């Protein structure tokens, strides 16, 4: 457990921010978060464990990719706008070209009979992983009727009824926030 | 296939708008992108969409790269960069601006309520996305047991998800 971190007044080189987030992105095949914790808290000591948890939950709460939001926040803390840009670039640039390479492979060979079947299997598997992520998120909710009803409503309206996302969110979010504001804070924080 | 300049701009604007609703990550808005790209515009097939999503999941980097992969399929490298920037810029600017604001205690209470209220919605939307992608995988009815197996493995073991995905590819090659 790491409980000291650099002060925001200390500066970190943009290059170091770029490299740290590059390492997080490249090492984190199939799940970036454990690696982000290792790099940011244990290796670089840019965040304490507590700060990491706070940054992460802020990153999840804000729209946009969670880990990219974390890169923006960490970059801004140590190097302002340049730092944010360096962090995001580190996170995105190399993986971008890698994934485009895969997409180019798919474009050329994706319709070959054998390759196509492999891709069918792979996409079913990826969808299954998405479901497992959803189950983990659902399990982390407070065991209260209103929270479970909201999970079910969001799933049913978008997944089964296939209603468009934006109206569903605009309808459900105010109800969700109203219900949440009436709930006394839990004794054990769940995240 | 390649989009016209007009189609590209309106797709970019749609992505920028959707990004502001992607609470919990890019995966949350995939059903909506699927609706537009596959069901309304017929720019690609179900199976193509599913395969590209899987590609992005199996490769290093954040899941949001799926937007680049879809862009590449719709044009090429430049289209990929364009869709990626359209999706990432609005939320990145928002996050950056918020780092400039310091919150007090009222702010903390507000964040707690937002988190408590929005995370059940995120959970439901991620489940919805997994469900829709299962149907769109191209594997037909066989997709459901495969997806269920993958989900079960991911929940019950600490196996790296990449192995689960590749394993499903092998299963697909043998069974389908």
pLDDT at A178: 94
B95 vs A69, A127, A164: nearest CB: A69
Sign of the dihedral defined by the CA atoms of residues B74, B75, B77, B82, in that order: negative
| Mean of pLDDT values over A154-171 | 93
Q: Both A127 and A81 in a single domain?
A: no
Size of interface A-B (CB pairs under 8 A): 397
Distance from C-alpha of A79 to C-alpha of A73, rounded to nearest angstrom: 10
> Is residue B52 assigned to a domain?
yes
- Is the confidence at residue A3, as pLDDT, over 60? no
Q: Both A134 and A154 in a single domain?
A: no
Phi then psi dihedrals of residue B23, to 5 deg = -75, 120
> Is residue B155 assigned to a domain?
no
Tens digit of each residue's pLDDT (9 = 90 or more) over A125-146: 989 988 998 998 899 888 899 9
| Residue ending a domain, choose from A89, A109, A129 | A109
CA-wise closest residue to B118 among A61, A158, A163, A178: A61
Q: Both A47 and A100 in a single domain?
A: yes
Q: Both A17 and A86 in a single domain?
A: yes
Q: Both A5 and A22 in a single domain?
A: yes
B170 vs A77, A104, A121: nearest CB: A121
Q: Which residues contact A7 (CB under 8 A, 6 or more apart)?
A: none
Please give the full DSSP string across A54-86, using - where no structure is assigned. HHHHHHHHSBS-HHHHHHHHHHHHHHHHHHHHH
> Is residue B20 assigned to a domain?
yes
Note down pLDDT in tens along chain B; length 176 residues.
678 899 999 999 999 999 999 988 888 899 999 999 999 999 999 889 999 998 888 888 888 999 999 999 999 999 999 999 999 999 999 999 988 886 667 777 888 888 889 889 999 999 999 999 898 888 888 899 999 999 999 899 888 888 888 899 999 888 87
Nearest residue in chain B measured CA to CA from A182? B113
Q: How many domains does chain A have?
A: 3
Q: Both A37 and A99 in a single domain?
A: yes
Question: Is residue B169 less than 8 Å (CB to CB) from chain A?
Answer: yes
Q: How many domains does chain B have?
A: 1
CB contacts of B130 in chain A (<8 Å) are 127-134
Q: Which residues pair with residue A127 across a beta bridge?
A: none
Q: Would the CB atoms of B129 and A57 count as touching at under 8 Å?
A: no
> Is residue B75 assigned to a domain?
yes
What is the per-residue burial (b if ≥16 Cβ within 10 Å, else e) of B101-121?
Answer: eeeeeeeeeeebbbbbbbbbb
Distance from C-alpha of B163 to C-alpha of A86, rounded to nearest angstrom: 31
Tens digit of each residue's pLDDT (9 = 90 or more) over B36-58: 999 999 999 988 999 999 888 88
What is the per-residue burial (b if ≥16 Cβ within 10 Å, else e) of B122-150?
Answer: bbbbbbbbbbbbbbbbbbeebbbebbbbb
Q: Both A121 and A170 in a single domain?
A: no
Range of the domain at A170: 143-191
Range of the domain at B26: 5-138
A106 to chain B, closest Cα gap in Å: 8
> Is residue B113 assigned to a domain?
yes
The complex's ipTM works out to 0.87
Question: Is residue B142 less than 8 Å (CB to CB) from chain A?
Answer: yes
B23 vs A29, A61, A150: nearest CB: A61
Q: Would the CB atoms of B173 and A114 count as touching at under 8 Å?
A: yes
Q: Would the CB atoms of A120 and B139 count as touching at under 8 Å?
A: yes
A155 vs B29, B116, B128: nearest CB: B128
B6 to chain A, closest Cα gap in Å: 23
Q: Both A69 and A119 in a single domain?
A: no
Q: Would the CB atoms of A155 and B168 count as touching at under 8 Å?
A: no
CB contacts of B88 in chain A (<8 Å) are 64-65, 68, 88, 92
* C-alpha radius of gyration, chain B, whole number: 18
Q: Both A122 and A38 in a single domain?
A: no
Q: Both A134 and A191 in a single domain?
A: no
Structure tokens at A169: 């969110």
Please count the CA atoms within 13 angstroms of the CA of B118 that sit on its side-chain side. 21
Q: Would the CB atoms of B62 and A61 count as touching at under 8 Å?
A: no
> Is residue B100 assigned to a domain?
yes
pLDDT at B83: 97
Tens digit of each residue's pLDDT (9 = 90 or more) over B119-145: 899 999 999 999 998 988 888 888 999
> Is residue B146 assigned to a domain?
no
Nearest residue in chain A measured CA to CA from B133? A127
Question: Is residue B93 less than 8 Å (CB to CB) from chain A?
Answer: no
A68 vs B50, B62, B170: nearest CB: B62
CA-wise closest residue to B127 among B28, B17, B12: B28
Q: Both A148 and A129 in a single domain?
A: no
> Is residue B50 assigned to a domain?
yes
CB contacts of A63 in chain B (<8 Å) are 19-23, 91, 94
Q: Both A16 and A45 in a single domain?
A: yes
Tens digit of each residue's pLDDT (9 = 90 or more) over A70-127: 999 999 999 999 999 999 999 999 999 999 999 999 988 888 888 888 889 988 998 9
- Tell me the pLDDT band of A1, cut-offs 50, 70 and 90: very low
């Amino acid at each position: 457990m790491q409980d000291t971190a650099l002060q925001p007044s200390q500066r970190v080189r943009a290059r170091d921010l770029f490299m740290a987030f590059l390492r997080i992105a490249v090492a984190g095949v199939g799940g970036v978060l454990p690696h982000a914790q290792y790099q940011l808290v244990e290796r670089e000591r840019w965040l304490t464990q507590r700060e990491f948890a706070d940054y992460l939950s802020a990153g999840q709460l804000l729209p946009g990719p969670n880990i990219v939001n974390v890169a923006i926040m960490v970059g801004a803390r140590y190097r302002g706008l340049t730092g944010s840009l360096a962090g995001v670039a580190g996170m995105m640039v190399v993986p971008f070209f890698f994934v485009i390479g895969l997409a180019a492979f798919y474009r050329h060979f994706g319709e070959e009979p054998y390759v196509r079947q492999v891709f069918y299997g792979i996409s079913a598997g990826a969808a299954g992983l998405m479901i497992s992520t959803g189950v983990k998120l659902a399990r982390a909710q407070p065991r209260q009727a209103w929270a479970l009803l909201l999970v079910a409503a969001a799933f049913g309206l978008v997944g089964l009824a296939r209603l468009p996302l934006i109206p569903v969110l605009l309808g459900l979010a105010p109800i969700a926030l109203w219900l949440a504001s009436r709930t006394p804070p839990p004794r054990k924080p769940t995240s | 296939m390649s989009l016209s300049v007009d189609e590209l701009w309106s797709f970019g604007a749609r992505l920028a708008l959707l990004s502001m609703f992607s609470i919990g990550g890019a995966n949350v808005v995939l059903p909506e992108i699927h609706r537009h790209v596959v069901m309304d515009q017929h720019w690609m097939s179900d199976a193509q969409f599913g395969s590209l999503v899987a590609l992005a999941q199996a490769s290093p980097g954040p899941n949001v790269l799926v937007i680049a992969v879809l862009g590449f399929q719709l044009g090429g490298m430049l289209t990929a960069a364009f869709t990626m920037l359209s999706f990432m810029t609005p939320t990145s600017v928002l996050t950056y601006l918020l780092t400039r604001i310091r919150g007090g205690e009222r702010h903390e209470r507000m964040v707690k309520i937002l988190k408590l209220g929005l995370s059940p919605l995120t959970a439901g939307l991620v489940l919805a996305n997994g469900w829709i992608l299962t149907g769109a995988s191209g594997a037909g009815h066989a997709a459901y047991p495969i997806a269920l197996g993958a989900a079960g493995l991911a929940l019950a073991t600490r196996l790296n998800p990449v192995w689960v995905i590749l394993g499903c590819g092998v299963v697909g090659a043998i069974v389908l």
